[in-house]
């Protein structure tokens, strides 16, 4: 079966559809919900955590670890930045 060549009109329709889709996507990107931005930021922060920090984060969220326990791990197993991400408070 031989492939049929697109007519000029079909080519223009295809190009128009592609441009409209691209413009719609750009508009959707601009109109993002502030909560989505916050969730994206939280996802990026979690990606910054080392595997051990992710483990400690789970302990903290479940209530097995306190802020004091996490603070004791800073400099040993986790960084100050990881402490701040896990607890949501500045390391002092």
More confident position, 21 or 69: 69
For tokens 């750009």, the residue is 26
Per-residue pLDDT tens digits for 36-73 = 666 666 666 667 899 999 999 999 999 999 999 999 99
pLDDT at 10: 74
pLDDT at 38: 66
* Per-residue confidence band for 20, with pLDDT thresholds at 50, 70 and 90: confident
The answer, yes or no, to whether residue 31 has pLDDT greater than 60, is yes
* Helices and strands in the chain, H and E counts: 5, 0
Q: Cα–Cα distance between 55 and 64 in angstroms, integer?
A: 11
The answer, yes or no, to whether residue 2 has pLDDT greater than 90, is no
pTM, two decimals, is 0.53
Q: Give the number of other Cβ atoms within 10 Å of residue 72's Cβ.
A: 13
């Amino acid at each position: 079966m031989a492939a049929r060549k697109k007519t000029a009109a079909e080519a223009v329709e295809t190009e128009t559809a592609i441009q409209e889709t691209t413009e719609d996507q750009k508009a959707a990107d601009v109109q993002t919900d502030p909560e989505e931005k916050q969730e994206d930021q939280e996802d990026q922060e979690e990606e910054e955590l080392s595997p051990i920090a992710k483990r400690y984060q789970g302990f903290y969220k479940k209530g097995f670890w306190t802020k004091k326990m996490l603070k004791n791990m800073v400099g040993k197993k986790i960084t100050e930045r990881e402490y701040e991400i896990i607890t949501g408070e500045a390391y002092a």
